[in-house]
Amino acid sequence: MADAKVIPFDDDRSRANGQRAGRRRSSGSRRKAEPSAVREVPVSPLPGQQGPLEASGEAVPEPGAAGEPEGGSGGWERRVAGGLAFLRRRITGDYEVDEFGYDKELTDHVLMSMVRPLYEKYFRVEVKGIENIPSDGGALVVANHSGTLPLDGLMMQVAVHDNHPANRHLRLLAADLVFMLPVVNELVRKAGHTLACAEDAERLLQRGEVVGVMPEGFKGIGKPFSDRYKLQRFGRGGFVSTALRAGTPIVPCSIVGAEEIYPMIGNAKTLARLLGFPYFPITPTFPWLGPLGAVPLPTKWTIQFGEPIPTDGYPPEAAEDPMLMFNLTDQVREQIQHTLYKLLVQRRSVFF
């Protein structure tokens, strides 16, 4: 694999040539909904008259009593019909993706279902403060990054998707290395992820999307286990500038549990350079156990969304003020770090 070029989030250069070429458009127009089948409904008898069952002396079953249970065959029929309709739309191309390649229907019905068992059963993620993400309008969620592999971003996406009362979707910003990997490139596009650049982030925020960013980048996810839960540098504050331009609040997010899934005790830098990776992790189980070493440890996770920091009260020129960006970046970083320490004190065990 060629050397991966890490594009900083606060790089405002235009990527119109290379980036737009990878985006998929709508592969088909919506069709009119087919009329549902007409069902014959029995006519109820007038007052004082007997219905056909009463006239025959048979007992009239009450709704829900000794009849078909709720969620019975009728529920399964609806599920099967919905699944067949989904497959028909995928085969005929009658579905939509946005300009970034986001396929909402595929994400809701397939991709989230694939990740959800890991979220619910394996890591047993506990979510706090989900109400701090606005019910409408744009918001920038800023989180710490750790774990050797970027599973924390996926867990944060499921946390917002499954727990927010307004059914909001999190659009994550990812480094260009993610979009260079075969298969992964296509999946992350369909799941709503896009390149971590200020241009795309601002467009998503102005459209009213919830955008997620992890400013530590590879410095956070690839740090040694001895530095766990110690935030790395947040760059030059590009995410703050983007939020100021869009006038959207910044929501700090603290994730506890990801640091221990792959305890990184070493880094094979020479091998990483040969493979084009920013680092090549050595853990207590990898590469010694081969593929089994890639199985993460079943740690207990907590994801807490903090109080939003408003940005709509600043003038338009504030986005170019380096001192303001530094102060807001430091405020977000300190809030995340303080919450991490607080959650660690409250944690009973790494695994429970």
| Residue 63 pLDDT greater than 50, yes or no | no
299 compared with 316, residue with greater pLDDT: 299
| Residue 26 pLDDT greater than 80, yes or no | no
Give the list of residues 6+ apart from residue 350 with CB closer than 8 angstroms, or none.
Answer: 257, 260, 299, 300
- pLDDT category of residue 106 using cuts at 50, 70 and 90: very high
Distance, in Å, from the CA atom of 304 to the CA atom of 267, rounded to the nearest integer, reads 30
Distance, in Å, from the CA atom of 129 to the CA atom of 133, rounded to the nearest integer, reads 8
Give the list of residues 6+ apart from residue 200 with CB closer than 8 angstroms, or none.
Answer: 19, 100, 173, 194
Distance set, CA 350 to CA 46, 69, 136, 185, 297 (Å): 67, 42, 35, 32, 10
CA 34 and chain centroid, separation: 33
Pick from 121, 122, 115: nearest CA to 297: 122
Query: According to the model, what pLDDT value does residue 72 have?
Result: 54
| Residue 141 pLDDT greater than 70, yes or no | yes
| Residue 285 pLDDT greater than 90, yes or no | yes
| Residue 328 pLDDT greater than 50, yes or no | yes
Structure-token pair, residue 343 = 């959650």
Query: According to the model, what pLDDT value does residue 79 have?
Result: 80
- pLDDT category of residue 218 using cuts at 50, 70 and 90: very high
